[in-house]
Amino acid sequence: MRALTWHGTRDVRVESVSDPEIINPRDAIIKVTSTAICGSDLHLYDGVIPGMQSGDVLGHEFMGEVVETGASSTLKKGQRVVVPFTIACGGCFHCAVQQYSACENSNPVEKQDMSATLYGHPMAGLFGYSHLTGGYSGGQAEYVRVPFSDVGPIIIPDHLEDDNVLFLSDILPTGWMAAENADIGPDDTVAVWGCGPVGLFAIQSALVMGAAQVIAIDHYPHRLELARKLGAKIINFRETNVREALMEMSGGIGVDAVIDAVGMEAHGFAIDNMLDVVKQKVGVGADRASALKQALLAVRFGGRVSIPGVYGGMTDKFPLGALMEKGVQLRTGQTHVQKYLGDLLAKIEDGTLDTTFLISHHLPLEDAATGYRNFKEKQDSWTKVVLRPGMEAGAAGASTTRTMEQV
Ligand SMILES: [Zn+2]
Ligand SMILES: [Zn+2]
User: Nearest Cα to 40, choosing from 60, 54, 20?
Assistant: 60
pLDDT digits (tens, 9 = 90+) for 132-164: 999 999 999 999 999 999 999 999 999 999 999
Spacing, Cα 61 to ligand 1 middle (Å): 6
Minimum-distance ligand to the CA of 43?
A: 1
Query: How far is the C-alpha of 55 from the C-alpha of 130, rounded, in Å?
Result: 11
> Which residues in the chain land under pLDDT 70?
265-288, 393-407
Dihedral sign computed on CA atoms, order 176, 180, 186, 188: negative
| Helices 290-298 and 242-249, packing angle to 10 deg | 30
Spacing, Cα 42 to ligand 1 middle (Å): 10
| pLDDT score of 299 | 97
| pLDDT score of 159 | 96
Query: How far is the C-alpha of 145 from the C-alpha of 123, rounded, in Å?
Result: 20
| pLDDT score of 118 | 85
Spacing, Cα 13 to ligand 2 middle (Å): 33
Other Cβ atoms within 10 Å of 169 Cβ, number: 31
| pLDDT score of 281 | 46
Listed in sequence order, the DSSP H helices in 275-367 are: 275-282, 290-298, 320-325, 337-349
| pLDDT score of 263 | 83
- What does pTM read for this prediction? 0.92
| pLDDT score of 265 | 56
Spacing, Cα 284 to ligand 2 middle (Å): 41
